[in-house]
A and B are shown apart, each in its own frame.
Chain A
Amino acid sequence: MTRPVPRLAPLLALILLVAGCDDPMVDQAKYEAYEKAELFPDGKTNQPPVPGTIARGQLDYFATLRQRPPLTRALVERGRERFDIFCVPCHGRTGDGDGMIVRRGFPSPPSYHTERLRNAPTEHFVQVVTNGYGVMYSYADRVPPADRWAIAAYIRALQLSQDFPVARLSDEARSRLEEAR
């Protein structure tokens, strides 16, 4: 009566083994982004490039940063989207400097609708995003050069929206304004 048990034992062991062990297909011998990497001394999968490396496309990066793109509707719309993501938390939707994070205690940024910032060259806004300004950190790691120009173009549009001479309004817009008054 003891015979069937030993015969089943290896099978049972195999089933338990398959069910219990880590599947080598699930965790393969490769590193995925953000996985801990035992191979490298600092344990990170994402290794920084060797100091002095010139990345492919880096010349384009600086060329785009230096060269102001032509002003198009698409550029301003892209700028609005990026501004809403990265700048609105502090600068607010209209650039008054009263965003949600400021209301929670972050130091107030200046309003974009001041004489000084209206007269600042467009490059200044690109500069601030690239290098940061005072307590505001740089956004260069998250906002690529083309988007910095787009944001700058949108800030110009915001400034215009708060400072537009009535005389230059279209007839239709002016009559709507009169009605609103």
Chain B
Amino acid sequence: MAQIFPPVADTCVKLAGIAVAVLVVGGLMVAGGAVRSDWLTRVGVAPDQPVPFSHKHHAGELGIDCRYCHDDVERSASAGFPPTKTCMTCHSQLWTNAEALAPVRSSFTTGEPLAWNRVHDLPDYVYFNHSIHVAHGVGCVECHGRIDRMNRVAKVHALYMSWCLDCHRDPAPHLRPPERVFDLDWQPPADARALGSELVARFGIEPANLDSCYVCHR
């Protein structure tokens, strides 16, 4: 019987096999990379906001304390978004004709809140609480970066579970005196670990228990 396939077919099949393998492995690698890429995790990507509010201007140049607007951050799980009235404590007198502030003024008269687009949003199956971090010496800057230098807020960490765990298993080098939590300029002393260990002891932080699943998945 005559051969159906020419001898070169063997090579073709082998090459095709290699091509499929490369495609599958490569595809998985690209997909894996994409899932962790800034494009999907939105690190460094600031969403559009209804008002061009700038932290660089308000918190940085004007030096307004975070708590003037995020006043819940010390006592509740959520740091909260300021109500329009908070903006109006200043903008009832300042920049009262600015086009950029028109949505603020109309929100104040209608009572319809400004719909800020969220920058950080954990999945609903994760429990997070600001107040305990703030009370026990984790600064805003540890998790949110230099907010006071951002015109539009963007994430600096992807908020992966591994990121939470890295700190929970060894918080000492990340801690600061609680009165420095809102001070984004604070620099740790040369021996950050010594200070951190002292704070771990003072607050009774138990790193051995902080990576238990129920701490964050409850």
Residues of A within 8 A of B (CB): 23, 25-28, 30, 32-34, 36, 44, 81, 84-86, 89, 100-101, 104-107, 135-137, 139, 141-142
How far does the alpha carbon of A84 sit from the alpha carbon of B67 in the complex, in Å? 10
Contact residue among B62, B88, B92, B115 (Cβ-Cβ distance under 8 Å from A89): B62
Q: A-side binding surface: helix, strand, loop or mixed?
A: loop
Whether the pair B85, A100 counts as a contact (CB closer than 8 A) is no
The number of A-B residue pairs with CB atoms under 8 Å apart is 59
Whether the pair A107, B67 counts as a contact (CB closer than 8 A) is no
Whether the pair A137, B94 counts as a contact (CB closer than 8 A) is no
Interface residue range, chain B: 20 to 34
How far does the alpha carbon of A32 sit from the alpha carbon of B77 in the complex, in Å? 11
Docked complex: B104-120 residues within 8 A CB-CB of A: 113, 115, 118
How far does the alpha carbon of A105 sit from the alpha carbon of B86 in the complex, in Å? 18
**Taking the nearest CB of chain B, how far is it from the CB of A27, in angstroms?**
6
7 contacts between A and B (CB under 8 A): A26-B125, A28-B124, A34-B80, A44-B113, A85-B65, A89-B68, A89-B90
The 10 A-B pairs of least Cβ separation, nearest first, read A28-B124, A26-B123, A85-B65, A137-B89, A142-B71, A33-B78, A85-B67, A25-B125, A100-B62, A106-B93
Residues of B within 8 A of A (CB): 62-65, 67-68, 71, 77-78, 80-81, 83, 85-86, 88-90, 92-94, 113, 115, 118, 123-125, 179
Whether the pair B94, A105 counts as a contact (CB closer than 8 A) is yes
**Taking the nearest CB of chain A, how far is it from the CB of B144, in angstroms?**
17
Whether the pair B78, A25 counts as a contact (CB closer than 8 A) is no
**Taking the nearest CB of chain B, how far is it from the CB of A41, in angstroms?**
13
How far does the alpha carbon of A67 sit from the alpha carbon of B13 in the complex, in Å? 90
How far does the alpha carbon of A139 sit from the alpha carbon of B83 in the complex, in Å? 12
Whether the pair B62, A101 counts as a contact (CB closer than 8 A) is yes
Give the residues in chain B near A28, CB-CB below 8 Å.
Answer: 124-125
Give the residues in chain A near B179, CB-CB below 8 Å.
Answer: 81
With contact pairs A26-B124, A142-B71 given, residues A34 and B81 touching in the complex (Cβ less than 8 Å) = yes
Contact residue among B62, B77, B81, B123 (Cβ-Cβ distance under 8 Å from A104): B62
With contact pairs A26-B123, A30-B124, A33-B80 given, residues A135 and B93 touching in the complex (Cβ less than 8 Å) = yes
How far does the alpha carbon of A102 sit from the alpha carbon of B114 in the complex, in Å? 26
